[in-house]
Amino acid sequence: MSDGPAYGFDTLQIHAGSRPDPATGARQTPVYQTTAYVFRDADHAAALFNLQEVGYIYSRLTNPTVAVLQERMATLEGGAGAVCCSSGHAAQIMALFPLMGPGRNIVVSTRLYGGSVTQFSQTIKRFGWSAKFVDFDDFDAVRAAIDEDTRAVFCESIANPGGYITDLDEIAKIADAAGLPLIVDNTSATPYLCRPIEHGATLVVHSMTKFLTGNGTVTGGVIVDSGRFDWSASDKFPSLSEPEPAYHGLRFHETFGPLAFTFHGIAVGLRDLGMTLNPQAAHYTLMGIETLSLRMQKHCENAEKVAGWLEKHPAVKEVTYAGLESSPWHDRVARICPKGAGGLFTVALKGGYDACVKLVDSLELFSHVANLGDTRSLIIHSASTTHRQLTQEQQVAAGASPDVVRISIGIEDADDLIADLEQGLAAAGG
């Protein structure tokens, strides 16, 4: 899209990054299913490899289909640039890769997807990194957890599984005061409901597998760089501020300014980690994003209606949906997610674990899968699946107690979903 008027979200989700194919005039972004690209000549090849010219070298690094998706995501999030990769988990490692080093740590919220808790509490130890888990509603505890070796602060905008909304404004102030980047996983909210950069986030990560694609077909991840962080303000981030030996002493921040993190993510992160997004997955994700606003409106509308019904059911102990007035985080919706509280929440049943299992097995419209953010409504018992690797204490902190099921509300008819839940709860002894 050419420079011009400030387009609205609905327009940008269709047009940002997309142009008619110069070779054929094709209006939909083609799938460039190619490994490599022919250089014009030897000088052109050298310039690309020296980062003196932007272009296509090899699809582990760059691909025209993926490039459209990167530009669209950067535009929708209000960032300077973006790097796509193979999954949401890959995006988290890619986000940390330029920031961390042996002995360094990150301060993270206790309210995270179970796989992220495992990744941060176990897997990153193999790199010599560590994580400090803190209740992000306790701002003093967040401040106290930050030390000289901390290199980032990490949270989810709308936390999986409980739909908890993080006070991004306050957390961003804490990170900024410490001279640290705030990384926000915006998977559950999407940029339609929340734009973390506007609340002070430095980097935004997504599992594009979920609401962005919306059809349960492919996996993908992305890191969006705000372009606003001064990587040279201290000596904490040498990968971005100091000479890079692999590029003959080039300093990424000095050379690329607001795009330093983005260029490093491609030129070093994808080059060496190889967490590449394939062009077919990028194509499916682009098609999904074209209807993002329409779907998110329906997700929120349905979630509010279904959660309100569940809250009054005699078999239900608690519903965590932030869109309910009874939620302790309801006051954050208007400030952090003004267009709605999303489609994700948990339901605690009075019948405990046994009732949860019976409910999951009795539903017909709800699919029992390890995913969320689909057009279809989904359900899972988190404690025995997505959060199974955690201790019971960690499960409770993450909002995934044994008496809880996670529900991802789709875009079906809400009355049909309520009817399915009604018969399921009856079968579960409710």
pLDDT tens over the chain, length 430 residues: 545 568 999 999 999 999 998 889 999 999 999 999 999 999 999 999 999 999 999 999 999 999 999 999 999 999 999 999 999 999 999 999 999 999 999 999 999 998 999 999 999 999 999 999 999 999 999 999 999 999 999 999 999 989 999 999 999 999 999 999 999 999 999 999 999 999 999 999 999 999 999 999 999 999 999 999 999 999 999 999 999 999 999 999 999 999 999 999 999 999 999 999 999 999 999 999 999 999 999 999 999 999 999 999 999 999 999 999 999 999 999 999 999 999 999 999 999 989 999 999 999 999 999 999 999 999 999 888 776 677 777 777 777 788 999 999 999 999 999 999 999 999 998 6
Sheet containing strand 150-156, edge to edge, reads: 81-85, 221-225, 203-207, 182-185, 150-156, 105-109, 130-134
82 and 94 housed in the same domain = yes
Tell me what pLDDT residue 114 has.
87
CA distance 251 to 240: 7
* pLDDT on residue 430: 62
Question: Domain boundary residue among 288, 303, 327?
Answer: 288
**Could you tell me if residue 17 is inside a domain?**
yes
Kindly give the residue spans of alpha helices, DSSP state H, lying in 249-378: 252-256, 260-264, 271-273, 279-289, 292-311, 333-336, 352-362
Q: Give a yes or no: residue 358 inside a domain.
A: yes
pLDDT of residue 15: 96
Distances (CA, A) of 248 to 104, 145, 369: 26, 37, 48
Q: Count of H helices and E strands in the chain?
A: 18, 12
Q: How many other C-beta atoms lie within 10 A of the C-beta of residue 342? A: 32
Domain co-membership, 61 together with 37: yes
Domain assignment of residue 272, yes or no:
yes
The per-residue pLDDT for 1 is 57
Q: What domain range includes position 392?
A: 292-427
Task: Say whether both 233 and 283 belong to one domain.
Answer: yes
Give the separation between CA 385 and CA 368, rounded to whole angstroms. Answer: 11
* The two three-digit tokens of residue 6, written as one number: 């400030």
Looking at the structure, do residues 277 and 324 belong to the same domain, yes or no?
Answer: no
Strand partners, 131: 106
User: Does 15 lie in the same domain as 66?
Assistant: yes
Domain count, the chain: 2
Q: Which contiguous run of DSSP H or E holds residue 348?
A: strand 344-349
